[in-house]
Amino acid sequence: MATFEPEPTTDLDFASSPVTQQLIIRSEWLRDAFNELDPTSETVGISMSPSRPYFRISTTGDTGSTEMTYSKDEHLDSFFCSEEHENWYKLAQIQRCKHALSLSDKTKIRVNQRGFVSFQFMIPTDADVSFVNFLFAPQSVPDEL
């Protein structure tokens, strides 16, 4: 009988680590950014900083690199960042939230200390608003956290 040691599973509990970065952006700004991402890239970088550039989305692929930066005064409705950090995520996974993004008015992006990113889309309905959440793990999760 063949046996093997399973790989450890990733703890997907977003609330288990404190949120170190958070912003609210009008969804049209984020839609524009998603449309500009290099489709030949495997990863997308999401960076937030207490200083300029406050929020940055970037990709590098076969056809070059793309970088969009957003200032907190002009583009962001709300902004909190306790420390500068950049995390990389699989572009194919991040692109899966484009339909919810296309229906939404505003998007809240939160990043916890482990680098997990949460996208929460505020979608208007006939009666009220609904929220759709996506959670993505970074390309690598630090072992010490």
Asked if the model's pLDDT at residue 124 lies above 90, the reply is: yes
Specify the amino acid at residue 97: C
Residue 14 clears pLDDT 90, i.e. is over it = no
Q: Three-state DSSP class for 97?
A: helix
Tens of pLDDT, residues 36-48: 888 889 999 999 9
Could you tell me the sign of the dihedral formed by the alpha carbons of 100, 105, 110, 115, in that order?
positive
Distance separating alpha carbons of residues 104 and 97, to the nearest angstrom:
11
Q: Please tell me the pTM assigned to this model.
A: 0.84
What does the alpha-carbon distance between residue 30 and residue 122 come to, in Å, rounded to a whole number? 13
Q: What angle do CA 57, 134, 31 make, to 5 degrees?
A: 40
> pLDDT of 23-75, one tens digit each?
999 999 999 999 988 888 999 999 999 998 899 999 988 888 889 999 888 88
User: Does residue 117 have a pLDDT over 70?
Assistant: yes
At residue 145, does pLDDT exceed 50?
A: no
